[in-house]
Structure formats: C-alpha cells, structure tokens
Structure 1
Amino acid sequence: MEATGIPALDTALVWGGALSVLAGVGTVVWRGFRGALHFGRRVNEFMDDWAGEEARPGVPGRPGVMERVGAIEERLQRVEHELYPNSGGSLRDAVDLANERLARLCSDEDERGSDDPPP
C-alpha cells in the first residue's frame, strides 16, 4: 500500500485497460473514416452520373442528366407533333383523312342498297 491509502495498481492491469480503451477509440475512428470514404465515393459516382463523362480509350462517353433530359424533351415534342392536327403532315391528320374516306365509302354503299348487313 502507498502512503495515500489507495492500493497500488498492477501495471499490467493499467496497460491492459489503456490498450482496451485505445483499441475501442481506434475502432470507432476507423469505422467513421471508412464510412466517410464510402460516402465520398458514392457522392463522386453521383456527380459523375449527373455531369456525364467524356469518352476515353476503350470506354464510351456517357451524357449527363441535363443532356439526357434535353433529348427526352426533343423526342416528346416530336411525338406531340404527331398527336394533334396541323398542316396535314401528322399521324392525326392521316387518321382523320382515312376516317373521312371510310365514312364516304360507307355512306355510298348504304345509298346503293348493299346486301351486306351493317357491322
């Protein structure tokens, strides 16, 4: 016993406890660092996808999000052009013309007294 009244601690016990605490703190720090690295890689991948990548030897380039959205908008405009009547060049105009002609053909047959029963 020491003069202060506190029993002397075994040095192996002190070092063992200190090493255990340091190992625990080191593990927490390492796991945090590893998680930050993983998160950083994911953010980097997202930014590459967002901005796109230039072509390099053996790897084709990839367009970014804004370029891809622009291409989608152009395609949508071409589709919408075909859905509404305009100067006669759309699919809708062709369908309307075919329906008109079919209606005239059907009314001509009805006036002549066709033997075929109506559909």
Structure 2
Amino acid sequence: MNVELLLWLGGGAAALLAIAPVIRWTHRVLVHVEQIADDWTGEEGRPGVPPRPGVMERLEAIERRVTAVEHELLPNSGTSLRDAVDRVDRRTAAASDE
C-alpha cells in the first residue's frame, strides 16, 4: 500500500511539473490579453492615478484635432490661416508690381 501511494504521489508531482510551463505560459498570455483589453477600453481614475482614456476616446480626440487643423489649412470665410497667407501673398504681389 505504501509503495502504491508513493507511486501515485510521484506520478502526480511529475504531472504537475510537466504542465507547470504550460500554466506559466498561459498566465503570461492572459496577463498580456488583459493589458490589451485595458488599453482598448481605458481605465477609470483612482485616488492618485488619473484616468486613462480608451482607444476610441483617443481616436475621437485625434479626429477633432485633425478637423481643427484642416479648418486652418483650407480656404473658408476668411478666418483661416490659409486665407491670411493668401491675403499676404496678394498684397506682396501687388506691392512688388508697383
């Protein structure tokens, strides 16, 4: 009976040692998946730590900034940077013709 018990315990220990690398690898992968999910969805703020916006919030902020820059780079009602450059260019051309 003692020999049989030792064989069972030894076999169980060997099985645990055999699957330990798989368990470690799985844990590492799951930790990375969790980090990716946190980056995608963002994180709530907690005491002493500011909130982190998720990917979709960041993309929305980038789109707003790009829209603002496009507004300045394209001619519109006369208030954009492009309109100001065009006015200066016309004045400079007119002054150089005189």
TM-score bin (small chain): 0.7 to 0.9
Aligned partner letter, 2:17: T
Q: CA offsets per residue over residues 74-104 of structure 1, 9 Å max, x none?
A: 0000111111111001111000000000011
More helix by share: 2
Match of 2:32 among 42, 58, 61: 42
Structure 2: any 5+ residue segments left out of the alignment? none
Aligned partner letter, 1:107: D
Aligned partners of 2:13 and 2:61: how far apart in 1?
56
Aligned partners of 1:47 and 1:89: how far apart in 2?
42
Please show how residues 20-39 of structure 1 align to structure 2 within 5 Å: 23=14, 25-39=15-29
Shift of 1:37: 1.0
Aligned partners of 2:47 and 2:13: how far apart in 1?
48
- State TM-score, norm by structure 2: 0.84
Match of 1:74 among 64, 73, 88: 64
Identity %: 47
Q: In structure 2, what is the equivalent of residue 93 of structure 1?
A: 83
- State TM-score, norm by structure 1: 0.70
- Higher-Rg structure is 1
Aligned partners of 1:41 and 1:70: how far apart in 2?
27
